[in-house]
Amino acid sequence: MTLKPSTRSLRIYIVEDEPLIAETAKMSLEDHGIKVLGISEDYDDALVNIQARQANMVLLDINIEGEKDGVDLAITLEKLSIPYLFLTSQTDPSTLARVKETKPLGFIVKPFTESGLLSNIELAWHQISLGKEEYIIIRHEGERIKLNQASILFLRAFDNYCYVVTSKKEYLIPHTLKSTTAKLNAEIFRKSHRSYVINISKVKGIKSDAVIVEDKEVPLSDTYKKDIEMLY
């Protein structure tokens, strides 16, 4: 399974008290370029490390070591606005009743397959991305326009100006490529050439000297080729 480039910005923490399951999940994620920040077996250790290492998603076993279980940790994560998916197996009715009061992004049933794990994570990350729209304000032909960053395919330098290209329109704005790029999400927008910055989530393919961004070819120089290939 090939994950979308946008999942490269994922920073996952695993809370699981069965070492074999935890390591299997870790290896599967890392094999697909997803950063795994660490593994914990209990509530206290997990909570400290999830916050300290700035995880943006947690894989959370319901039944973990200690007095507080995964449901307790889920409730705390919700207060901290940290999204999570439950790792589940058969559990008792009282715990299931408590689970119904939480709001996970999904449930991954144990034992899981690698494809099932990755599919659930990609779907969850897509849900998160939809809820975090980011905008940039640009000036075009004397008008201020609020543009969703997700709609941008790439930017192209033009002297002290730059073009902002979407699938529907090109905007020529009175700012340099460098200053405009500085206002964008650095996890999504990367240079492919000294005069081009691309939205890596829109990449459909890579050629020897070009990147296919939706249906458009954007120059790819040797300087940035390795970085783009690792992200794609």
- Cα atoms in the 13 Å half-sphere on the side-chain side of 89: 10
- pLDDT tens-digit series, residues 18-44: 999 999 999 999 998 899 999 999 999
Beta-bridged to residue 197, according to DSSP, are 155, 191
Whether residues 11 and 120 share a domain: the answer is yes
* Cα 106 to Cα 85: distance, rounded to the nearest angstrom: 5
Q: Quick one: average pLDDT of 57-76?
A: 94
Tokens 């279980």 label which residue?
Answer: 69
Task: Look at residues 80, 109, 130 and tell me which one is the last residue of a structural domain.
Answer: 130
The pLDDT of residue 125 = 82
The pLDDT of residue 228 = 84
Per-chain mean pLDDT for the chain: 89
Whether residues 21 and 124 share a domain: the answer is yes
Whether residues 21 and 126 share a domain: the answer is yes
* Cα 74 to Cα 91: distance, rounded to the nearest angstrom: 16
Task: Look at residues 95, 130, 165 and tell me which one is the last residue of a structural domain.
Answer: 130
The pLDDT of residue 130 = 62
- The CATH number of residue 112's host domain is 3.40.50.2300
Question: Residue 131: which pLDDT band, with cuts at 50, 70 and 90?
Answer: low
Q: Quick one: average pLDDT of 1-30?
A: 83
* Cα 138 to Cα 108: distance, rounded to the nearest angstrom: 42
Work out how many domains the chain is built from and give that number.
Answer: 2
Whether residues 65 and 169 share a domain: the answer is no
Task: Look at residues 130, 148, 179 and tell me which one is the last residue of a structural domain.
Answer: 130
Expressed as residue numbers, the domain containing 186 is 135-231
Contact at 8 Å (CB) between 153 and 213?
yes
Whether residues 37 and 126 share a domain: the answer is yes
Long-range contacts of 211-216 (CB under 8 A, 24+ apart): 213/153, 213/154, 214/153, 214/167, 216/153, 216/154, 216/165
Overall size of the chain counted in residues: 232
Give percent above pLDDT 70 in the chain.
92
Question: Residue 4: which pLDDT band, with cuts at 50, 70 and 90?
Answer: low
Question: Residue 230: which pLDDT band, with cuts at 50, 70 and 90?
Answer: low
The pLDDT of residue 9 = 72
Largest Cα–Cα distance of the chain, in whole Å?
A: 66
Whether residues 116 and 141 share a domain: the answer is no
Q: Quick one: average pLDDT of 51-67?
A: 93
Cα distances (angstroms) measured from residue 66 to each of 16, 40, 89, 174, 194: 12, 12, 18, 58, 53
User: Is the pLDDT at 81 greater than 50, yes or no?
Assistant: yes
Whether residues 108 and 165 share a domain: the answer is no
